[in-house]
């Protein structure tokens, strides 16, 4: 397989790896993997629908109304990175600083009178819960369904912080905790894994390129697996055989994110029975042995590697990426399956992005000859209304809650976390197949002064021109308007530039 050429074709865009911090592949001595949603890619929306249905069934079994069984999972509504306000029962889309971008109460989008400052204290973890993972998607939709049901059902009276049924009161916080407990029950005690294993073809993607990439990685470095799943599920869920042969080290029951701190006792798994052997394992690394528990420090010791030698690949921005980066200094690769759709929308609806940029320019033109001594106030109301309309139309192209990365021209909390903690990211780690292991992923230079902007804009223009030949130089935009591009496209323009310098 050859490196993906820099062309405007959507297929090639979705096969790229995007860069936040420079990384020299030849310096990587170990490749580490998560399993769920990384090595084992679940089919969407089939897998989310299964999780949703099982969670609803459990809620009904503990006393929730039978009518909930009529709900059907709708993948067009939820997106990752939303925040649930357990006081008022709202789903919030916020930026990195807690400013509210979108507010939904059930399926009703609110003006935000409950948040007069349009701001939340994100560190109030007792009240606000971030729904960051792919496993959270069914949960996000279920929370909206429950709020909508109890708000509109005649048997219940809505209150600001919950709902009443006669003398009984249920707060949104209590409802949220019931949903959290139900989700945990489905994953750890329920039949989710059993039903997945029974129908792997329906729920799990089998990618023929996976064993090829793992084999090539193993030729140049050590490869390990660290998953929270138990051995039995890992053995069945990893669909390529014999899967153990692709790894130098296999760790199940890792209990991330604890794994990246104090960890747990390292034990050996009896692969014939799936049971754990008695006692702590203290020996050297043995090929073909499956271990349970352990910690990131133990991984480094067994593999003879330092933190910077390891590139860890996962989908969980907290459990995989943030903790491995902050506690161990591992290099990180975040898998974002939604990126393929984000790129598709940007390509398909580029006229909306271009109109929004044109409106930004027109707005700037109205203030062109004014300074601090001017008393004149241009009428910008019509432009503001149009910007609001175009922004809404643009967001709706991604789904009911908009883009994973942006709301209009503002980055989401999820986007800021990606930029902060993920060195590399892509729609699939399989994209690494199209890069040599000597490749230097080069991040854009940090801009510290205004004179650097013209040079960057010239670069952006030339790269964009390759994708859009009809784009004229006189249409080059001021730097402010580039903030309207999705996070992925900003980086798409500037991050795939190779250099002879070392990362």
Catalytic residue check, 36? yes
Calculate the alpha carbon distances from 340 to 17, 166, 353, 409 in Å: 12, 48, 18, 20
The span from the CA of 241 to the CA of 239, in Å, is: 7
In contact, 228 and 253? CB cutoff 8 Å: yes
Bridge partners, 407 (sequence order): 410
The span from the CA of 96 to the CA of 290, in Å, is: 40
Bridge partners, 440 (sequence order): 24
The answer to whether 315 is annotated as binding is yes
> Which residue out of 36, 235, 253, 423 is catalytically annotated?
36
Cβ-Cβ contacts under 8 Å for 378 (sequence gap 6 or more): 366, 367, 370
> Which residue out of 34, 53, 253, 467 is catalytically annotated?
34
In contact, 100 and 118? CB cutoff 8 Å: yes
The answer to whether 36 is annotated as binding is yes
User: Which position has the token pair 């230079």?
Assistant: 445
The answer to whether 34 is annotated as binding is yes
Alpha carbon of residue 123 to chain centroid: 20
Alpha carbon of residue 479 to chain centroid: 27
The span from the CA of 416 to the CA of 423, in Å, is: 13
Order of strands across the sheet that contains 310-314: 18-19, 424-426, 331-335, 310-314, 30-33, 222-226, 249-252, 290-292, 267-268
For 109-118, b/e burial (b = at least 16 CB within 10 A) is ebeeeebeee
Name the residue among 416, 417, 404 with its Cα closest to residue 344: 404
In contact, 225 and 33? CB cutoff 8 Å: yes
DSSP 424: E
The span from the CA of 329 to the CA of 297, in Å, is: 11
The span from the CA of 456 to the CA of 322, in Å, is: 30
Name the residue among 262, 293, 227, 266 with its Cα closest to residue 38: 227
User: Which position has the token pair 């593999």?
Assistant: 303
The annotation places the binding site for GMP at 36
The annotation places the binding site for Mg(2+) at 34, 315
Q: Please identify every residue annotated as catalytic.
A: 34, 36
The annotation places the binding site at 34, 36, 315
């Amino acid at each position: 397989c050859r490196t993906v050429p820099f062309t405007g074709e959507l297929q090639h865009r979705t096969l790229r790896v995007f860069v936040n911090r420079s990384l020299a592949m030849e310096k990587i001595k170990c490749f580490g993997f998560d399993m769920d949603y990384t090595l084992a890619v679940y089919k969407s929306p089939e897998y989310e629908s299964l999780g949703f249905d099982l969670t609803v069934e459990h809620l009904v079994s503990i006393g929730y109304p039978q009518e909930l069984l009529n709900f059907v999972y709708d993948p067009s509504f939820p997106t990752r990175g939303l925040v649930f306000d357990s006081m008022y029962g709202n789903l919030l889309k916020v930026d990195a600083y807690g400013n509210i971008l979108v507010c939904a109460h059930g399926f009703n989008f609110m003006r935000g009178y409950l948040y007069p400052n349009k701001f939340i204290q994100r560190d109030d973890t007792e009240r606000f819960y971030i729904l960051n993972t792919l496993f959270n998607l069914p949960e996000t939709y279920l929370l909206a369904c429950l709020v909508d049901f109890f708000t509109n059902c005649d048997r219940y009276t809505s209150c600001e912080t919950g709902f009443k049924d006669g003398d009984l009161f249920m707060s949104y916080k209590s409802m949220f905790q019931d949903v959290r407990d139900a989700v945990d029950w489905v994953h750890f005690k329920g039949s989710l894994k059993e039903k997945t294993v029974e129908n792997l073809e329906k729920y799990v993607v089998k990618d023929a390129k996976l064993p090829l990439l793992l084999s090539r990685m193993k030729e140049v470095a050590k490869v390990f697996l660290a998953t929270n799943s138990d051995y039995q599920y890992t053995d069945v869920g990893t669909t390529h055989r014999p899967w153990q042969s692709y790894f130098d080290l296999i760790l199940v029951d890792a209990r991330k994110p604890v794994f990246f701190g104090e960890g747990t006792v390292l034990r050996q798994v009896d692969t014939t029975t799936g049971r754990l052997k008695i006692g702590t394992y203290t020996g050297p690394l043995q090929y073909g042995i499956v271990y349970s528990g352990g910690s990131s420090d133990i991984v480094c010791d067994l593999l003879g590697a330092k933190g910077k030698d390891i590139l860890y690949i996962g989908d969980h921005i907290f459990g995989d990426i943030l903790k491995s980066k902050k506690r161990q200094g591992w290099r990180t690769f975040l898998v974002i399956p939604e990126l393929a759709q984000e790129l598709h929308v940007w390509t398909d609806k580029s006229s909306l992005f271009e109109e929004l940029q044109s409106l930004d320019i027109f707005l700037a033109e109205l203030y062109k000859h004014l300074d601090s001594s001017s008393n004149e106030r241009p009428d910008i109301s019509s432009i503001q209304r149009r910007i609001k309309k175009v922004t809404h139309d643009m967001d709706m192209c991604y789904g009911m809650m908009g883009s994973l990365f942006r709301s209009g021209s503002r980055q989401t909390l999820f986007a800021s976390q990606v930029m902060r903690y993920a060195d590399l990211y892509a729609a699939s780690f399989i994209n690494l197949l199209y890069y040599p292991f000597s490749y230097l992923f080069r991040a854009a230079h940090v801009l510290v002064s205004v004179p650097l902007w013209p040079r960057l804009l010239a670069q952006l223009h030339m790269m964009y021109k390759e994708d859009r030949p009809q784009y004229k130089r006189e249409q080059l935009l001021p730097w402010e308007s580039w903030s309207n591009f999705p996070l992925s496209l900003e980086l798409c323009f500037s991050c795939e530039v190779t250099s002879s310098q070392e990362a």
